[in-house]
Amino acid sequence: MFRRWGWSFRDFEEIDLFSDRYDTNAQTLSQAIRAAATEEPDADGSVLFGQMKGTVVGLRYYTGVVNRGEMVGLVRQPQNPYDRNAVMVANVYGHQVGHIKKELAAAMAQIMDNNLAKVEGVVYSGTNNAFSMPVTLSFWGKEENKENVTKALARRGFRLETSVGSGSGSGGNFSFFLQLKNAFDNLFEGLMESKDGEKEAADAVSTPLLPHQKQALSWMCARENKSSLPPFWEKRGELYYNSLTCFSSKEVPERVRGGILADDMGLRSILTHFSRVFSGGDPTIPDIPEDPSATATLIVCPLSVLSNWLDQFEQHVSVNVKLNVYLYYGSERNRSEKFLSSQDVVITTYNVLSADFGNKSPLHKINWLRVVLDEGHFIRNPNAQMSKAVLELKASRRWILSGTPIQNSVKDLWTLLAFLRLKPFDVREWWNRVIQRPVTQGDRTGLQNLQTLVKCVTLRRTKTSEVNGRPLVVLPEKAVFVEQVELSPEERAEYELANSEGQKTIRRYVAEGSVLKNYADVLAILMRLRQHCCHPDLPTKSSSDSSSDATPAELRQRLIEKLRLVLVSGSDEECSVCLDSVRFPVITHCAHVYCRPCIAKVISTQEERARCPLCRSDIRQNELVEVPEEEDTGGNTKQWRTSSKVQALMGNLLRLRLNDQSIKCLVVSQFTRFLTVLETPLREEGFSFVRLDGTMTQKRRAQVIQDFQSSSSDGPSIMLLSLKAGGVGLNLTAASHVFLMDPAWNPATEEQCIDRCHRLGQKKKVVVTKFIVKDSVEENMVKIQKKKQDLVEKAFGASSNSKKSSRIDDIKTLMEITI
DNA sequence: ACCGCCGGGTGCC
DNA sequence: ACCGCCGGGTGCC
């Protein structure tokens, strides 16, 4: 196996919330940071220093062979007993080919061990003997290390050729970048293969299949059973040859049994049919060579859709077939391997899986017949424990369900393709060299290769897809209205007070050039303004703005408030060290949030001066601040009062009810406290409602969804939904009206939420109302939303400096500051 | 390896 | 001859 190239999570750049180029769907700062943190520095921040010829020796001692033009890996062997500078040469499959000649190895060892450059090898020409062969070495790294590397080589008598311009990142004009961006966006479009036809469900399935479901079923059967070669493999005489890496092998390359269902229509239902058909051993489908050692189907999903799976199995059960479905969840879960492998289907969550991982996990011992990853984008960060846990599962067939397979960039795909074992790209080095770097640098061929790879393993249908010119499904239309809200004079006065204070502070930061250093403050200011737009009681009492002569106690109190603000405001913060949701949150003096154990580790490994991984301010262990237990939820002892936005919503709801009693509505806000505020007038007006937010247990959540979806006449007609909880997978088709109470930073987040009801199964026309307060930060947010798409495209090739300034410009736009 | 390097054998032309 | 030259043994790191 290859030693992977190491990099540090501290290498990422500062990220903004408003226009980050990393994640067009980012809704929290941390998501953006996570996106950046997982960016491999060598993959797209790197430049080509130059190339040189080297020699691979010792061929006769090893079995690994290479073809002309084949890429080889260079792996340091510091433990080599003969030479601690040894550099091993291996082919794509990891078979050793030989070593780099020792003089050159000495120079390379110095460069590689100090992370000055990453070295890649290609064997362009053959050899005329059995002992050694030439190899072309390319040195890649950060611009600032170029001179060091060149000198280190020169010192030992090696010269880098720089004239050969193989790096194509340079000549990127703007429109070309846009073209690429579009091509990338469309990666998953047009992947319809209608030739597979439709397949009837087996007798085991009680509900009849819709045409698009039949089609998916048949595609899946083909993917599990057709024996075609994986993408870029072809047969050449007796050998199998990979045209991207030029690797060849006598053995048939392992094919991918499975794929990605990048579909937003009834994925789980299809999979339910699928596993029922195959796990139930349906006799009408004889063409599956069963692996006798393989066992059950394992389904891994986020907690939020667990109940959906259980429902699906429930719903599609035909009474005469006994299907064992086991929910591997909760502290009482049965960890017996024997028991688990005797099931037809085992369902678990990513969290349970990663908690078990490395801890005698029974799930990792079983050879599953099939593993299904639901909401596959949950594992898009390859460094996360979850992803590692998932990649270690043993299975003969592998499936990924994801409505959004690509969230922001190419690298999101790696974990997915690695899970599918799409050789050789399940090894990062080959993925980076052959796909990721070329694509990031704007290489058309790289993008085409990526498209081919994805195409081969993906079934993509959207609600607008067509088969043979006919739409797969016909959804009712959707209308979106923006309703302007005017603040009352009192609200306006309070708003303007907060606004002018905020402007003053931010102006100072802008003048000092310290906007990014004080980002948490800026966020806090914006947050307060947004809250003011919703309801005067939403903003928490502020300890006023930051006078610089604050006592340590005051400072601490302010930090606690900031932390609470961040954690309570409906943004699911993630720790940018472990890239997971924060556990045991602490806040640094520079106001960044981490898990306590994570940041403690950072501090202990950085001797002398520890620096904040996000802003590089000095941090100290004893200055980390924890949020104390919530004394009183909300602290709303005051008399309830209304707000203009509340009035606007209530007016709509009452009018609708008058018109048609049966209409159901989603009322969506980013602020859970606003949802709480809304409960009072809803009760007063006699509305029956349920509430769904991130704090609820799975059981409660499932209950609420079921209640809301039920068609009983005395059931709830309104769901109060926190934007965060309204993620993908949720099915709320009982609602036909959506009220978005406050604008999100990212329009895609709003779209996603709307799609909870505008999806397969919706019978009515969907009406969306967005409330925007006139002359407020909300209007400016809408401007930013519109600008955002443009910025993302520009940022595809923009320098980090221009990104920084556009971020500051955004803040100025939001605060209407002109300097 | 049809090389380079090592070290022993050898020694006018 | 404390050299050169020859030819056999040998060989990744």
Per-residue pLDDT tens over the stretch A187-222:
554 444 434 455 555 555 556 667 777 778 888 888
Q: Which of A440, A375, A379 is nearest to A181 (CA)?
A: A440
CA contacts within 13 A on the Cβ side of A802: 9
Is A793 a domain residue? no
The domain in which residue A443 lies consists of 187-471
| Nucleotide C4 C1' to residue A103 CA (A) | 30
pLDDT, position A288: 46
| Nucleotide B2 C1' to residue A133 CA (A) | 16
| Model pLDDT for residues A105-156, shown as the tens digit of each residue | 999 999 999 999 999 999 988 888 889 999 999 999 999 999 999 999 999 9
Query: Which of A635, A664, A695 finishes a domain?
Result: A635
| Model pLDDT for residues A6-50, shown as the tens digit of each residue | 222 222 222 222 222 223 332 333 333 333 333 344 455 789 999
Same domain, A598 and A710: no
| Nucleotide B4 C1' to residue A264 CA (A) | 67
For range A685-692, the mean pLDDT: 96
For range A566-585, the mean pLDDT: 61
What is the residue whose two structure tokens read 């960039």?
A409
Same domain, A503 and A591: yes
| Nucleotide B10 C1' to residue A741 CA (A) | 102
Same domain, A423 and A302: yes
Which positions of chain B lie under 7 Å from any protein Cβ? Answer: 1
pLDDT band at A541 (very low <50, low <70, confident <90, very high): low
Of A180-194, A224-238, A470-484, A600-614, the one with minimum mean pLDDT is: A180-194
Query: Which of A155, A179, A207 finishes a domain?
Result: A155
CA–CA separation, A32 and A56 (whole Å): 42
Dihedral angle computed from the Cα positions of residues A740, A265, A456 and A433, in that order, rounded to the nearest 10 degrees: 20
Q: Which nucleotide is closest to the Cα of A85 by its C1'?
A: C13
Same domain, A192 and A146: no
Is A116 a domain residue? yes
Is A192 a domain residue? yes
Inform me whether the pLDDT recorded for A517 exceeds 90: no
CA–CA separation, A373 and A419 (whole Å): 9
Q: What is the CATH number of the domain that holds A54?
A: 3.30.70.2330
Higher pLDDT: A442 or A110? It is A110
CA–CA separation, A374 and A403 (whole Å): 9
Is A16 a domain residue? no
Is A559 a domain residue? yes
Q: What is the CATH number of the domain that holds A409?
A: 3.40.50.10810
| Model pLDDT for residues A249-293, shown as the tens digit of each residue | 888 888 889 999 886 666 677 777 777 666 544 434 434 445 555
Inform me whether the pLDDT recorded for A797 exceeds 60: no
Q: Which nucleotide is closest to the Cα of A132 by its C1'?
A: C12
Q: Provide the token pair at A546.
A: 């930051």
CA–CA separation, A627 and A585 (whole Å): 7
Inform me whether the pLDDT recorded for A521 exceeds 80: no
| Nucleotide B11 C1' to residue A779 CA (A) | 102
CA A189-A195-A200 angle, 5° bins:
105
Inform me whether the pLDDT recorded for A798 exceeds 90: no
**Is the CB atom of residue A131 positioned under 7 angstroms from any atom of strand B?**
yes
Is A25 a domain residue? no
**Is the CB atom of residue A548 positioned under 7 angstroms from any atom of strand B?**
no
Q: CA separation (Å) from A91 to A242, A255, A648?
A: 12, 19, 66
DSSP string, A335-376: --HHHHHTSSEEEEEHHHHHHHTTS--HHHHSEEEEEEESSG
Same domain, A442 and A463: yes
**What percent of chain A shows pLDDT beyond 70?**
74
Inform me whether the pLDDT recorded for A411 exceeds 90: no
Where helices occur in A467-578 by DSSP H, the ranges are 489-512, 519-534, 552-568
Q: What is the CATH number of the domain that holds A534?
A: 3.30.40.10
CA–CA separation, A720 and A679 (whole Å): 8
CB A599 within 8 A of CB A588: yes
CA A758-A764-A768 angle, 5° bins:
55
| Nucleotide C7 C1' to residue A443 CA (A) | 57
| Model pLDDT for residues A390-400, shown as the tens digit of each residue | 999 999 999 99
For range A507-517, the mean pLDDT: 84
Question: DSSP secondary-structure letter at A583?
Answer: S
pLDDT band at A542 (very low <50, low <70, confident <90, very high): low
Q: What is the CATH number of the domain that holds A763?
A: 3.40.50.300
Query: Which of A778, A796, A814 finishes a domain?
Result: A778
* Category of A197 on φ-ψ map: left (φ > 0), alpha (ψ -120 to 50) or beta: left
CA–CA separation, A410 and A483 (whole Å): 37
| Model pLDDT for residues A711-721, shown as the tens digit of each residue | 888 899 999 99
Q: Provide the token pair at A764.
A: 């009515």
Which positions of chain C lie under 7 Å from any protein Cβ? Answer: 12-13
Q: Which nucleotide is closest to the Cα of A106 by its C1'?
A: C13
Number of separate domains in chain A = 4
| Model pLDDT for residues A364-387, shown as the tens digit of each residue | 999 999 999 998 888 888 888 999
Is A49 a domain residue? yes
Mode of pairing for the β-strands spanning A345-349 and A297-301: parallel
| Model pLDDT for residues A766-791, shown as the tens digit of each residue | 999 999 999 999 998 888 777 655 54
Same domain, A606 and A702: no
Same domain, A140 and A203: no
CA–CA separation, A203 and A429 (whole Å): 46
| Nucleotide C11 C1' to residue A129 CA (A) | 13
Same domain, A599 and A698: no
Same domain, A258 and A388: yes
Same domain, A605 and A649: no
Give residue numbers, 18 to 77 of A, with CB < 7 Å from strand B. Answer: 57
pLDDT, position A48: 94
CA contacts within 13 A on the Cβ side of A255: 14
pLDDT, position A596: 87
CA–CA separation, A222 and A420 (whole Å): 15
Q: Provide the token pair at A788.
A: 């955002």
Question: DSSP secondary-structure letter at A85?
Answer: T
Where helices occur in A74-210 by DSSP H, the ranges are 102-113, 146-155, 174-185
Where helices occur in A191-349 by DSSP H, the ranges are 211-225, 267-279, 306-315, 337-341
Where helices occur in A399-488 by DSSP H, the ranges are 412-419, 428-431, 437-440, 444-457
| Nucleotide B9 C1' to residue A569 CA (A) | 90
Sequence letter at residue A280: G
Same domain, A54 and A99: yes
Sequence letter at residue A106: A
| Model pLDDT for residues A635-665, shown as the tens digit of each residue | 455 689 999 999 999 999 999 999 999 999 9
Same domain, A456 and A316: yes
Is A789 a domain residue? no
CA–CA separation, A403 and A376 (whole Å): 8
Higher pLDDT: A760 or A670? It is A670
**Is the CB atom of residue A132 positioned under 7 angstroms from any atom of strand B?**
yes
**Is the CB atom of residue A775 positioned under 7 angstroms from any atom of strand C?**
no
| Nucleotide C5 C1' to residue A85 CA (A) | 37
| Nucleotide B11 C1' to residue A287 CA (A) | 84
Give residue numbers, 98 to 117 of A, with CB < 7 Å from strand C. Answer: 98-102, 105
